Amino acid sequence: MPEPVDRPPPTDKEIAKWRAEFESIGREAVRLAIARGQGFVPVRKRELAILWLREKEIGTEKRERAAAWYAKWTLDAAIAAAVLAAISIIVALGIVRL
């Protein structure tokens, strides 16, 4: 029985074409196709789809972390401003003398 022969690795042009295809069909469609085992032949295209999907997820996670950091920083700044405003009002009304 002959041994299976490995196919040559995909060219840069093929990889770019596959990535463009993934972009056009979208993340959810790629995820469903991978889960169902459909649509990505040869196997290297499926492997690239998994890698592409993970890269997209990493990008999303980074954006979410940045947004969460910004929201926390904004909340901290708002609390500090509220505290300073309350102190200013107390001092202005003469409740506490400095």
> Is 65 inside a domain boundary?
yes
Its domain, for residue 50, covers 12-93
> Is 36 inside a domain boundary?
yes
Closest CA to 10 of 45, 46, 52, 38: 45
Q: Is 49 exposed, middle or buried (0-12, 13-18, 19+ CB in 10 A)?
A: buried
> Is 42 inside a domain boundary?
yes
> Is 20 inside a domain boundary?
yes
Closest CA to 44 of 9, 5, 4, 17: 9
> Is 23 inside a domain boundary?
yes
The Cα 71–Cα 48 span in angstroms is 35
pLDDT digits (tens, 9 = 90+) for 37-87: 877 778 889 999 999 999 999 999 999 999 999 999 999 999 999 999 999
Residue 25's pLDDT is 94
> Is 39 inside a domain boundary?
yes
- Is 1 a residue whose pLDDT tops 80? no
Question: Greater confidence, 86 or 7?
Answer: 86
Per the structure, the count of domains in the chain is 1
